Amino acid sequence: MAKDNGLPRVYIVMRQDLNMSPGKLAVQVGHGVDFVHVKKTASYREWMESARRRKIVVAVKDLQELAEIKALLVERQVPSHDIWDAGLTEFKEPTHTGLVIPPWPQSLIPGKVKFLPLWK
């Protein structure tokens, strides 16, 4: 199997403290992937043409840790997009559930993001 360490990857960073049902999590991740296809980054074409379009769902503890990750991305000029739930089902109000990092070169993704725990 060929190594793809240099290929762009999509990271979807989700909050654990919300205790989302599996269905709610799936929809929120879907919102993130929708954004990837609507707002194409410079690395989008390379990612789409790859046989291995990596999408990695990672977890943060809470809104504070999510904000720390967002600040780090802004500092490093890594594109991202916030994921919000409208508050129509599980949450009583609009809720910031996570963020997505569209296809971006691995060498430019902060290590703190790459080493977040995988969603379980």
Query: pTM for this one?
Result: 0.93
* pLDDT, tens digit, 9 for 90 and up, residues 60-72: 999 999 999 999 9
Residue 95 to residue 59: CA distance in whole angstroms: 16
d(CA 77, CA 74): 5
Q: How much is the average pLDDT of 23-29?
A: 97
Averaged pLDDT, 107-115: 94
Cα distance between residue 12 and residue 81, in whole Å = 10
Which pLDDT value is given to residue 6? 75
Nearest in space to 83 (alpha carbons), one of 41, 24, 43: 24
Summarised one tens digit per residue, pLDDT across range 43-52 is: 999 999 988 8
**What pLDDT, on the 0 to 100 scale, is given for residue 1?**
40
Q: pLDDT at residue 5 above 70?
A: no
